[in-house]
């Protein structure tokens, strides 16, 4: 009887929301299932090919290669800021591969703001969903860090480069 009461009580204890329930289309038409990254940190970045921050692809790829045993980076192309990602998924994949040798996972092109904001970005930007903070995607190359348990850690703005000491510390801690 006591065990049943404890189990029932446990159902009403709020659980920290995690990213592991998300599955998104990958840029090549497959599926990115976030549950496959349990035990790794995840850095989610909204990307664009024709932006002043586009050279960050190089630093993101270097970061990914240096720490891929404990970190996965997932790029989310978006055309939400001054049409700086106008191409198709094939165009984006080709650009990332040929120009920056990107090997980290890339999602299919999505919206990261506005009425059509993708569910994963709703989770990333709303405290009532991620349990930590509200944020807004102010431009391309915003970065969202998720810990090894799939919990939201924090948001980094576009001007925080992939080799920024604060970002590196957050990833390595």
Structural domain includes residue 119:
yes
Structural domain includes residue 7:
no
pLDDT of residue 10: 52
Residue matched to tokens 């994963």: 120
From 22, 40, 50, 51, active-site residue:
51
With contact defined as beta carbons under 8 Å apart, do 46 and 73 qualify? no
Say how far apart CA 92 and CA 76 lie, in whole Å.
11
Instruction: Tell me the β-bridge partners of 155.
Output: 144
Number of other residues whose CB lies within 10 A of the CB of residue 59:
16
Number of H helices, E strands in the chain: 6, 6
Supply φ then ψ for residue 122, to 5 degrees.
-65, -45
Structural domain includes residue 77:
yes
Residue 71 above 60 pLDDT?
A: yes
Structural domain includes residue 28:
yes
Residue 86 above 70 pLDDT?
A: yes
| Domain count within the chain | 1
Structural domain includes residue 150:
yes
Domain that holds residue 109: 23-172
Structural domain includes residue 10:
no
CATH number of 34's domain: 3.40.30.10
96 catalytically annotated:
no
Transcribe 122-149 into DSSP letters. Answer: HHHH-HHHHSS------STT-EEEE-TT
Average of per-residue pLDDT across 11-26: 81
Structural domain includes residue 6:
no
Structure tokens that stand for 92 in this block: 């984006």
pLDDT band at 17 (very low <50, low <70, confident <90, very high): confident
Structural domain includes residue 147:
yes
Residue 15 above 70 pLDDT?
A: no
Say how far apart CA 46 and CA 54 lie, in whole Å.
11
Predicted confidence (pLDDT) per residue in 109-122, tens digit: 999 999 999 999 99
């Amino acid at each position: 009887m006591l065990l049943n009461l404890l189990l029932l009580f446990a159902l009403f204890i709020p659980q920290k929301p995690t990213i592991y329930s998300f599955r998104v289309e990958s840029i090549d038409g497959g599926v990115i299932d976030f549950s496959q990254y349990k035990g790794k940190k995840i850095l989610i970045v909204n990307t664009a090919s024709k932006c002043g921050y586009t050279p960050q692809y190089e630093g993101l790829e270097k970061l990914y290669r240096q720490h891929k045993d404990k970190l996965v980076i997932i790029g989310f192309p978006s055309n939400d800021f001054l049409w700086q990602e106008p191409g198709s998924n094939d165009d984006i994949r080709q650009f990332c591969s040929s120009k920056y040798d990107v090997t980290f996972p890339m999602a299919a092109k999505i919206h990261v703001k506005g009425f059509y904001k993708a569910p994963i970005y709703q989770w990333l930007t709303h405290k009532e969903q991620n349990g930590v903070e509200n944020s807004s995607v102010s431009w391309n190359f915003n970065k969202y860090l998720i810990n090894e348990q799939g919990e939201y850690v924090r948001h980094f703005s576009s001007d925080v480069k992939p080799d920024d000491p604060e970002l590196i510390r957050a990833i390595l801690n």
